[in-house]
């Protein structure tokens, strides 16, 4: 019984350490999300790269509109600045 408790304790500690060392998920980190979408690592996201995301595949029409709206300079690519979350205005 002591062996089982010891093994379970070691597993619990290992799981905690691994969770703390895990990289941030792209969803919570804008830079990681940008890097994940930028498949060719050219520092910008093409419409093809944008449309290849799981969210875009669910609703291509909505994703296309979103891409166009985010592409402020109409160059056909999204920069890190264009992809940055909109900042809320202070009241």
Q: Which pLDDT value is given to residue 22?
A: 44
Residues lower than pLDDT 70 in the chain:
14-27, 86-91
SS (H, E, C) 24-67: CCHHHCHHHHHHHHCCCCCCCEEHHHHHCCHHHHHCHHHHHHHH
9 SS3 class: helix
Full set of structural domains in the chain with CATH: 25-83 (1.10.238.10)
pLDDT tens readout for residues 63-87: 999 999 999 999 999 999 999 876 6
pTM above 0.75, yes or no: no
**Residues contacting 6, CB < 8 A, separation 6+:** none
Q: Which pLDDT value is given to residue 35?
A: 94
């Amino acid at each position: 019984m002591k062996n089982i408790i010891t093994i379970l304790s070691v597993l619990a500690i290992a799981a905690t350490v691994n969770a703390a060392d895990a990289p941030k998920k792209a969803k919570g980190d804008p830079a990681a999300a940008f890097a994940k979408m930028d498949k060719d690592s050219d520092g910008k996201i093409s419409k093809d790269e944008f449309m290849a995301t799981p969210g875009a595949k669910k609703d291509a029409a909505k994703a296309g509109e979103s891409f166009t709206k985010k592409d402020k300079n109409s160059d056909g690519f999204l920069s890190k600045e264009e992809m940055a979350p909109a900042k809320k205005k202070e009241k």
